[in-house]
Structure 1
Amino acid sequence: MSWIERLKVKWNLESNWQFVIIMLVFACTGTTVVLIKKPLINLLFEDGIRPLWFQIAYWVLILPFYNIILLFYGFLFRQFDFFWKYEQKMLRRFGIKVNADKE
């Protein structure tokens, strides 16, 4: 069984097309985060040098920001339900209680 087939089974996907769309959502989300970082640095720091506090704050704040963008792209590509369940599962792993039915 290929890695694609294993992911389709794990994620309970219906088709190869749904798999492609989900990978596209992950790609768009990652690209968006990368494209936003450099202008943000240029806006906050004229010389482009990032102090340690910014690096720490960036890594702390990027996770919720990434998740919001992931849900946004999931909505745009009509895969919001999949990504909402994905987010809930991740939040449970962090020990955050989610008001939803467990799978």
Structure 2
Amino acid sequence: MEQNQPKSSDVETMPPSKKHWYIKLKERWGVDSDLQILLIFIVFGLTGSTVVYIKGYFFQLVGFTSTTPGWLKTTLYLIFIFPAYQVLLLMYAFIFGQFDFFWNKMKKLGKGIKRLFSRKRKPNE
């Protein structure tokens, strides 16, 4: 039986509204190489797996149990694990040769967060 999946040449010639998710992602990220996309996925996968692994040890070190309130776990997670994720992401990105890609994305994220928390000034100030 023949499946109705598009060939790679068909995917690239689809109308913009019907483009394959993979092609849309490459365009959005400004990536030309299939290998680079693969490496980016690997970096995300390794970083996420490492954070899940570290989180257990961190919670154990802090002394969290099943009775620890969720708000406390979430607060400490955001304070300690979220920054660790960013550092690990850049470390794995460096190892896999994708540091520039991730560094640019992090700078963009930082600007967005800064804009979110910055005070808006009135035009007369």
Moved more, 14-23 or 52-61: 52-61
Gapped regions of structure 2 (runs ≥ 5): 1-18, 116-125
Any gaps of 5 or more consecutive residues in structure 1? Answer: 97-103
The CA deviation at 1:57 is: 1.6
Q: Would you say the 8 A contact 2:40–2:98 is kept in 1?
A: yes
Structure 1 position 76, deviation (Å):
0.5
Task: Sort the Cα spacing of 1:79 and 1:49 in 2 relative to 1 into closer, same or farther, 3 A.
Answer: same
Deviation per CA, 1:41-97: give whole Å up to 9, x if none.
Answer: 22222755434434312123332221111111000000000000010011111026x
AA at the equivalent of 1:23:
F
What is the SS of the residue equivalent to 1:78?
coil
What are the superposed Cα offsets for residues 8-32 of structure 1, whole Å, 9 maximum, x if unpaired? 0111112111101001100001000
Structure 1 residue corresponding to 2:107, chosen from 82, 85, 88: 88
Q: Give the number of equivalent residue pairs.
A: 96
Residues 41 and 50, structure 1, Cα contact 8 Å, conserved in 2: no
Measured in 1, the distance between the counterparts of 2:72 and 2:83 equals 18
The structure number with the bigger radius of gyration is: 2
User: Structure 2 length normalisation: TM-score?
Assistant: 0.69
Change (3 A) 1:84 1:46: closer
Deviates more, 1:40-49 or 1:56-65: 40-49
Normalising by structure 1, we get a TM-score of: 0.82
